[in-house]
Structure 1
């Protein structure tokens, strides 16, 4: 009998090698490479299944299109991130830290769909049926018509789903616990995760049911397992949050049927996750008004404008190498803003310890936060508090200019709705200016620095 072929696969990133080595060259992890069989299973190569010589019919590009059928959960924040509800026949991957509330949110979504007459199947690989029922009772969902199963074998799960009436939604918690007997490796390994995800994705396309897969995350915040799993599914959602805060953020990083980078905000309560209709008011709650180093940033998360507080602290450093601590923003972006302030604006700030924090635990990725960060840094350095009724947004160039950003009108309208009376940004278009809102348009960062510094000097003279 022919010897089964094997490969050495990194369990952190999925990179394959022909022989074992201690350190993965792709992700840098040590002792993460394990030998696995790769010539069999649901996700095996093309030679394991013959496609035959069947011709595929070609159709013209021009023709009638049909919108994807969706099932709306009624949870507005979840429907917003998914693009209007779960698409029938799609596969979604939901990741997040342990205990962040993934299972709670999906159980609430399952109960909401069941109340709308949808058939929902919840497959748990981590908890027994009694444990799932106990959590449902704690959330007040004990009477929901949701079908439960506690199973980890993929073949048994698929046989169970195909034996009964066709479900509208299938939730699998979690993909790392599933295994198939066609692959000779332990559950949770790269091969098992990949083959299990491929089998469930194929079931979703064939049956028309929406399949939601729950995935664990690594210490870096990425969904554990190979990146190919994220390419298999139609949408990837990350559940973010901090144990020190009560709110959670559901962020869509990939969506074939909706906008990416869309967020939904929830608050963790004793009865589960409740929706937050106005995230800006939540992030600005208990803002440090009148304190130096605090600036309000008017940002965009997908199609939603969000106002959030940027906090900066500039302190003299007793060390030869000053500290740089950043929470919620890109540390390399902070280094760039500091370099522009030093070189283009003449601000001597690099020798100080600098701490930057996005209040509330929100993570910001867009460069439009450059101007708010610079304003908070100068405010802390000069000891001059910024006006409480002003927001800041704009991208800073390496030449010291302030560039305009997209969706300026939406940012300004959100700021005006929450009572802000002034906005500092780059150049605005004619249709972006709002009546009743003072617009501070800055072509150069030096203009904003001079304005804040002058207020600080005037305050010191008093």
Structure 2
């Protein structure tokens, strides 16, 4: 019996090595190399090889000679999901959905399967984690019932491929990719080799047959999708389903999308009958806001093409440590000391002996520069113990010299503030030209952080 050869593979980037190394030369991560058995040579060229009779000859040609066919997208009944996907599901696309256990990934996909099947599309739901009876129980709870929805419990990729060939569905859901295995790959299900080969085979099926495939991926404790980083490069779209298991709201965010924007965000509410869309997320984020509390401001942030009003809270208190603490949730933690340094240098606030805690209410993550001014006003409000007006919305980017710089899509942000009943918007002075705000809404243009604090806090 021939001795089986082993190799070591990085679980982060897929780098292969004949021996174990503490640090991966490919991505520089430590302790990511795992041992795997090399598959026996069988003349197979890998999962990208075409099956017999399906090989397509190709040749190089000028790009002007390539024929394009514009296929309409297929819409689900979830406008939030359509928004995140870029306008609907594209035929032949491969979509990866990741999220924490119990967050609602299977519930979301089963609801989408029901909506598509009720429109006359044939959907194949493949579960590698649940039996057919378990899937049926969850479907009854969600009110899912359609003859066009086929359920299949299998983890062998060859059987899955044969079933797709026989049933010829338009949509395929695989839950989850870590449970599927290829018989020709000797490593265990969920390993780097198995995940890579199975995803490549599903991609080949989707591209050659024009089938839209959704695959569920588990996440690590760091929040990244488990398996090699190559997995995210292979698929067309990567979606993350975020939220707390014990809270009702869920956020679906695109981090990669070949058919749309990666800045879009969809918000859902988990109820007993399944996930329901949140049509106006600004009201949700602001409904529990405390009025008259120091350290609270409202900012209009852009999530893709949608303006969202969220509350930024700050708590400034004297430190009892040698080095003051700087903590932030939902904001880049490097931005907090930067803005505090601007307030100390340009406004004269003594913040070097103060602990600072900042949070974006509602669990939203904001990373655009237009929230700078609202963060600075929140810090100053808590430090001075002076509340801002509950009907004020603050927008602007702050520079290191204390200036307030213009932001993009100011009209959409102001319209959203007016729709929710805000009376004043403090915004960069350079954004005031060339347009008029909604009737009954006062626009206050500021050029420096000091002017913004005078307008917001009366200093």
Q: TM-score, normalised by structure 2?
A: 0.92
> Could you say which residue in structure 1 is the equivalent of 2:115?
112
8 Å CA contact retained: 1:294, 1:311: yes
> Could you say which residue in structure 1 is the equivalent of 2:20?
20
Counting only pairs closer than 5 Å after superposition, residues 152-167 of structure 1 correspond to structure 2 as 152-164=155-167, 166-167=168-169
Q: Does 1:71 align with 2:74?
A: yes
Distance 1:198 1:55 in 2: 20
8 Å CA contact retained: 2:117, 2:146: no
Give secondary structure in 2 for the equivalent of 1:415: helix
Which one of the candidate residues 205, 208, 212 is aligned to 1:206? 208
Which one of the candidate residues 298, 303, 316 is aligned to 2:305? 303
Distance 1:319 1:358 in 2: 25
Distance 2:311 2:408 in 1: 20
Give secondary structure in 1 for the equivalent of 2:425: strand
Task: Quote the offset at 1:7 in angstroms.
Answer: 2.9
Task: Quote the offset at 1:399 in angstroms.
Answer: 2.1
Distance 1:131 1:143 in 2: 17
Distance 2:365 2:30 in 1: 25
Distance 2:49 2:110 in 1: 40
Q: Please list the CA deviations of residues 187-237 of structure 1 after superposition, one character each: whole Å capped at 9, or x if unmatched.
A: 111111111111101110011110001111111211111121111111111
Distance 1:432 1:363 in 2: 30
> Could you say which residue in structure 1 is the equivalent of 2:446?
442
Give secondary structure in 1 for the equivalent of 2:96: strand
Distance 1:47 1:205 in 2: 13
Task: Quote the offset at 1:321 in angstroms.
Answer: 1.5
> Could you say which residue in structure 2 is the equivalent of 1:229?
231
Task: Quote the offset at 1:341 in angstroms.
Answer: 1.7
Distance 2:231 2:261 in 1: 20
Q: Please list the CA deviations of residues 275-299 of structure 1 after superposition, one character each: whole Å capped at 9, or x if unmatched.
A: 1110111111111111001010100
The 1:113/1:418 distance shift into structure 2, 3 A limit, reads same
Distance 2:268 2:229 in 1: 27
Equivalent residues, number:
454
The 1:123/1:388 distance shift into structure 2, 3 A limit, reads same
The 1:287/1:32 distance shift into structure 2, 3 A limit, reads farther
User: Unaligned regions of 5+ residues in structure 2, if any?
Assistant: none
> Could you say which residue in structure 2 is the equivalent of 1:459?
none
Q: Does 1:103 align with 2:106?
A: yes
Which one of the candidate residues 401, 413, 416 is aligned to 1:414? 416
Which one of the candidate residues 135, 140, 155 is aligned to 2:143? 140
> Could you say which residue in structure 1 is the equivalent of 2:295?
293
> Could you say which residue in structure 2 is the equivalent of 1:460?
none
User: Unaligned regions of 5+ residues in structure 1, if any?
Assistant: 456-462
Give secondary structure in 2 for the equivalent of 1:214: strand
Distance 1:18 1:402 in 2: 55
Distance 1:102 1:40 in 2: 37
Distance 2:134 2:194 in 1: 25
Q: Please list the CA deviations of residues 122-169 of structure 1 after superposition, one character each: whole Å capped at 9, or x if unmatched.
A: 0011111111111111112245641011111111111110122x2111
Which one of the candidate residues 255, 273, 295 is aligned to 1:271? 273
Distance 1:207 1:103 in 2: 24
Task: Quote the offset at 1:454 in angstroms.
Answer: 3.9
The 1:60/1:325 distance shift into structure 2, 3 A limit, reads closer
Distance 2:335 2:417 in 1: 25
The 1:348/1:209 distance shift into structure 2, 3 A limit, reads same
8 Å CA contact retained: 1:95, 1:237: yes
Task: Quote the offset at 1:350 in angstroms.
Answer: 2.8
> Could you say which residue in structure 2 is the equivalent of 1:129?
132
Distance 1:168 1:323 in 2: 54
Distance 1:83 1:262 in 2: 8
Task: Quote the offset at 1:64 in angstroms.
Answer: 6.7
Q: Does 1:150 align with 2:153?
A: yes
Counting only pairs closer than 5 Å after superposition, residues 328-343 of structure 1 correspond to structure 2 as 328-343=330-345
Give secondary structure in 1 for the equivalent of 2:340: helix
Task: Quote the offset at 1:31 in angstroms.
Answer: 6.3
Distance 1:53 1:88 in 2: 19
